[in-house]
Amino acid sequence: MMKPYCCFGTAGVALLAGCVMLFAAETPREMSVSHHASIQEALNANPGRMIYVPAGDYTISEKIRVRGDNSGLFGPGRIIQTTPNEPIIEIEGAAGVQIRDLTLTRAEGKMETMNEAVLAIKCRDLVLENLRVLDNRTRSAAIALRECTGSQIRGCLVRNYMRITVDDRTRGTDWGYAFKCIDGTGIAVSYSQGTLIQGNRVIEQNLLPTPEIQKQFDLGRFVKKNAQKGVITNQKTWDAEYTDTWHQGSAIIVTAPEVSDCTQILGNTIENAAQGIDLHSDHVIVSQNIVNNSHIGMKAMHGSRHVLIIGNQFSKNDLWSIGLMPGAASHAAAPARDGKPAVVANVDGGSIIANNIISDFGYGHSHWIWAESAAPLRFCRGQKPDNPPLTDVIVQGNIVYDTGRDQVIVDGQPKVEPPRYKYAVIVEGGANGPKGLHFSNNILHPGAKGVSNVELKP
């Protein structure tokens, strides 16, 4: 009989390593990669089974295809993809697949790609656990889930996932330009329900938003421009043919707001992202995460309803730490007409922001870009006039802490620094500005111009 992968008795953690060794030792020969010509051959020969990948390097030139329910890969091996235009592992149309413990990377000199390290499509009850995804530098995402249900991404390390590329926004009427940028995402989930993203570390160390990097790659400069300005592009950006938003991508994004639902983002550590957590989803819990040195700590928009943001640490953010706002995809409900079915509302609000700590605001890598528009807490109007307003948000028990008051080291000497934000809270006005914001029991250290640009009503 095959032993279980893990066992927990009274010794719990102490037995874990022994259990893994026991499983490997008693794995049938045909269920180990070492008895096949390749990882793909081992999977093909053992449908519906977990395949053990022993320690060592496994070089591939085509993606590994995982098909069939209850199949998967596990073990201490390192898989190295040598072809930039291929994912490393692709899982499609399967239930109960598990990919655990592996290191996934790309060959030296071939780390920049448009593809994923792990791509899962239309899967159910997928588990990605304890993976090390290194130097998959992509315009896409290092780990991507699409149209999946009940998936878990746990305890993974995603390191160095960004690249230099062009963000082309010339299609449609919203923007009308393309520009050079840093882009890439660590973990991306779209059109999915019931996703758990827990205990991961998503860290970028290769491309940081410094003046030197901006100058080296001419980041933010338009490379293409439509004849007509986009409807949500401001005139100053259009005339300058330059945008400050050249640091793109997210450490974690959950998108497709009218489909993605019931997401848990718990206990992750994020460093040096552009956007730490980006949400376009309903019924989300964001809790116990640490988002450090990302110009946006987190945002929820484009119809993100019922988002619970509780007990997180946001440090060294430079544009905002927590932002809620309608986006261009937000819309009101509409009745059936002209042979078309009724449209369900896709609106923002009914959310809670509670017991978060925002510290060291403005002390990140991108303060030099965002100093004039920064605010730790931001509540915005819609991007378009017909976007329904953000409505009914409770903001309670949070701390916005002005670190400069405690003296920081400047040129080797302690110095009291003025706040690196104008207001602790900004609430945008206008016809579709936020409504029904309720503030209570917060500690909000004032910025250079005060606590907020409006009166905060309990």
Is the pLDDT at 379 greater than 60? The verdict is yes
* Domain limits for position 56: 13-452
Tens of pLDDT, residues 197-243: 999 999 999 999 999 999 999 999 999 999 999 998 999 999 999 99
- b or e along 225-246 (b: 16 or more beta carbons within 10 Å of the residue's beta carbon)? ebeebbeebeeebbeeebbbeb
Specify if 289 maps to a domain: yes
pLDDT classification of 407: cutoffs 50, 70, 90: confident
Distance CA 313, CA 288 (A): 7
pLDDT classification of 6: cutoffs 50, 70, 90: very low
Nearest to 116 by CA among 189, 54, 57: 189
Name the residue with higher pLDDT: 338 or 28.
Answer: 338
Specify if 2 maps to a domain: no
Give the type of residue at 257: P
pTM comes to 0.91
Specify if 48 maps to a domain: yes
Specify if 93 maps to a domain: yes
Specify if 310 maps to a domain: yes
Specify if 355 maps to a domain: yes
Rounded average pLDDT over 141-170: 97
CATH assignment of the domain containing 139: 2.160.20
Name the residue with higher pLDDT: 224 or 339.
Answer: 224
| Predicted pLDDT at 3 | 35
* Paired tokens of 87: 């994912």
Q: What angle do CA 338, 343, 346 make, to 5 degrees?
A: 150
Is the pLDDT at 121 greater than 80? The verdict is yes
Nearest to 206 by CA among 266, 153, 137, 141: 137
* Paired tokens of 361: 């605001």
pLDDT classification of 175: cutoffs 50, 70, 90: very high
Rounded average pLDDT over 429-435: 92
Q: What angle do CA 108, 113, 116 make, to 5 degrees?
A: 105
| Predicted pLDDT at 30 | 58
Q: What is the mean pLDDT of the chain?
A: 92
| Predicted pLDDT at 215 | 96
Tens of pLDDT, residues 270-299: 999 999 999 999 999 999 999 999 999 999
| Predicted pLDDT at 10 | 43
DSSP 361-423: TT-STTHHHHTTT--SEEE---SSTTSPPPEEEEEES-EE--GGGG-EEETTEEE----SSSE
| Predicted pLDDT at 218 | 96
Specify if 3 maps to a domain: no
| Predicted pLDDT at 387 | 94
Sign of CA dihedral 403, 405, 410, 413: negative
Q: Reduce the secondary structure of 332-363 to three states and give it as a string.
A: CCECCECCECCECCECCEEEEEECCEEECCCC
The structural domain count of the chain equals 1
Bridge-based pairing state of the strands 177-183 and 222-225: antiparallel
Tens of pLDDT, residues 91-118: 999 999 999 999 999 999 999 999 999 9
Tens of pLDDT, residues 247-273: 999 999 999 999 999 999 999 999 999
Looking at the chain, how many residues does it have?
Answer: 458
Distance CA 359, CA 357 (A): 6
Specify if 4 maps to a domain: no
Q: 40 in helix, strand or coil?
A: helix
